[in-house]
């Protein structure tokens, strides 16, 4: 079984290296959209803090696009140079952006949530294409084929909608309930979201409802199954039939502690944090394969496969200088799981992470600052110096050996 997982992860890494190099930030909580192929930082000795923004009163969730970082702040989105943080352009809105709901990118269009509205922005010149007010936006945004998926609160009720960018964000379909809805996921052409204790599947212009027996907080779509973080501290799993109904006897669960983060995974290796620590879960058998108890209160992980399968998370930690948060990398290999500390963060409560294709990582902290870090690149000058030193040492060794050989030869008695 262990060899199977190893081979599966290796295959996944190769697959994502090929397929996600040009992937859009579609926003779906699904394996094909969330796992990133990038050579991200892996050890604190080789981490460079490239730049950071100032503290902000209202800062949203960062995204990346080509060589830019998109930073929502106040009532606009700044398009910053990924390398140095300089402002290249900005899109302005009529109200403040949403602090906690992530936008999405489809083609060259950014779909950005504000507190009550959705804005479509042309990323070429950051001009607003269209916008529409719905209600209190309460989920991340997902987008595909110019259709936008999200949830919002309308008075005392919640609605999950599909809206059309090409038609001024008019509603294509909606699902209403008095229960809160989750951010969207998808498998194939099925759109998936949670609503109270029900898992809702949009399939064939209709809704399939599956009662999972616990309030769903987050949904993640793996390749073969759906995983749900529930309010009772359980990670639950279910597989779907073609009609969107739960496959018989396919449900599984394991208890991981209160306040589960959104789960993220690759090839049935699921990563999730809680008040009890940070967990690696075998998604086939729903068993914990590794627990890092020191990472209590860990943030929602993000997974990359550029330097092996790595799950990044942040967790609070107390030291002699006071309470701090640490950013960690968990390397998942067949030899085991290795935890590495990358950087200290003053406060990452409700923090958010984004990763560029270059491997540079962006962190929005509790103070509204955005930090950009990357893996330190080797200095060409230092490499040349090292090579020269190696050659010099090699020559010195040769000279010493030659001198020793001559001295040894001189001590031999003459031959008659």
> What is the SS3 assignment for 260?
coil
Structure tokens at 403: 């001198």
- The reported pLDDT for the residue numbered 378 is 59
The pLDDT value recorded for residue 290 is 96
d(CA 93, CA 143): 20
Residues 6+ apart with CB under 8 A from 294: 277, 315, 317
Report phi then psi at 234, rounded to 5. -105, 140
Q: Specify the pLDDT at position 393.
A: 82
Q: Please state, in angstroms and as integers, the Cα–Cα distance from residue 225 to each residue in 69, 298, 301, 305, 406, following that order.
A: 32, 24, 19, 20, 74
Nearest CA to 30 among 114, 140, 115?
140
Check residue 22 and give its pLDDT.
38
Query: What DSSP string runs through 285-354?
Result: TTEEEEEETT-TTPPPPEEE-BTBEEEEEEEEEEETTEEEEEEEEEEEETTEEEEEEEEEES--TT-EEE
Residue with the two structure tokens 């040349």? 384
Look at residue 414 in the predicted model and tell me its pLDDT.
Answer: 58
* Token pair recorded at residue 71: 């930073």
Q: What is the pLDDT along the chain (416 residues), one digit of tens a residue?
A: 444 344 444 444 443 333 333 345 799 999 988 888 899 998 888 899 999 999 888 999 999 999 999 999 999 999 999 999 999 999 999 999 999 999 999 999 999 999 999 999 999 999 999 999 999 999 999 999 999 999 999 999 999 999 999 999 999 999 999 999 999 999 999 999 999 999 999 999 999 999 999 999 999 999 889 999 999 999 999 999 999 999 988 889 999 999 999 999 999 999 999 999 999 999 999 999 999 999 999 999 999 998 899 999 999 987 766 668 999 999 999 888 999 999 888 899 999 999 999 999 999 999 999 999 999 865 556 567 777 778 888 888 888 877 777 776 666 665 54
Q: Which residue, among 375, 389, 346, has the nearest Cα to 55 in the 3D structure?
A: 346
**pLDDT of the residue at 21:** 35
Its CATH architecture, for the domain 2-377, is 7 Propeller (2.130)
Give burial (CB, 10 Å; 0-12/13-18/19+) of 410.
Answer: exposed
pLDDT value, residue 14: 40
Residue 40 in tokens: 């991200």
Structure tokens at 262: 């959104």
pLDDT at 379: 56
Q: What are the counts of helices (DSSP H) followed by strands (DSSP E) for the chain?
A: 3, 33
In this structure, what token pair is assigned to residue 22? 């040009």
Q: Which residue has the tokens 């489809």?
A: 106
């Amino acid at each position: 079984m262990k060899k199977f997982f190893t081979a599966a992860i290796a295959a996944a890494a190769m697959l994502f290296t090929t397929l996600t190099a040009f992937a859009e930030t579609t926003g779906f909580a699904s394996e094909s959209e969330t796992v990133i192929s990038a050579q991200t930082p892996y050890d604190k000795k080789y981490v460079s803090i490239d730049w950071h923004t100032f503290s902000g009163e209202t800062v949203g969730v960062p995204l990346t696009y080509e060589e830019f970082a998109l930073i929502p702040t106040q009532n606009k989105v700044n398009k910053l140079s990924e390398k140095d943080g300089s402002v290249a352009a900005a899109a302005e809105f009529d109200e403040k952006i949403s602090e906690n709901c992530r936008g999405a990118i489809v083609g060259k269009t950014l779909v950005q949530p504000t507190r009550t509205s959705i804005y479509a922005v042309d990323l070429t010149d950051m001009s607003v294409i269209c916008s529409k007010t719905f209600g209190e936006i309460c989920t991340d945004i997902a987008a595909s084929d110019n259709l936008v998926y999200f949830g919002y609160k309308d008075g005392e009720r919640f609605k999950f909608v599909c809206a059309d960018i090409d038609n001024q964000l008019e509603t294509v379909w909606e699902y209403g309930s008095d229960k809160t809805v989750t951010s969207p996921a998808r498998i194939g052409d099925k759109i998936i979201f949670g609503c109270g204790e029900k898992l809702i599947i949009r399939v064939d212009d209709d809704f399939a409802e599956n009662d999972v027996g616990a309030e769903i907080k987050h949904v993640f779509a793996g390749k073969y199954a759906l995983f749900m973080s529930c309010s009772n501290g359980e990670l639950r799993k279910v597989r779907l039939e073609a009609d969107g109904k739960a496959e018989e006897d396919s449900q599984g669960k394991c208890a991981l502690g209160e306040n589960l983060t959104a789960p993220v995974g690759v090839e049935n290796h699921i990563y999730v944090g809680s008040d009890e620590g940070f967990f690696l879960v075998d998604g086939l058998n729903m068993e914990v394969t590794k627990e890092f108890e020191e990472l209590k209160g860990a943030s929602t992980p993000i997974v990359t496969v550029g330097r092996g399968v790595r799950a990044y998370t942040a967790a609070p930690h107390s030291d002699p200088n006071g309470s701090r948060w640490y950013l960690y990398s968990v390397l998942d290999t067949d030899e085991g799981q290795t935890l590495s500390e990358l950087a200290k963060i003053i406060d990452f409560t409700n923090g958010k992470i984004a990763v560029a294709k270059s491997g540079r990582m962006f962190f929005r902290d509790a103070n509204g600052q955005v930090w950009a870090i990357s893996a330190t690149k080797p200095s060409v000058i230092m490499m040349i110096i090292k090579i020269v030193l190696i050659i010099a040492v090699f020559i010195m060794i040769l000279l010493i050996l030659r001198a020793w050989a001559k001295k040894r030869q001189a001590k031999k008695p003459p031959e008659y």
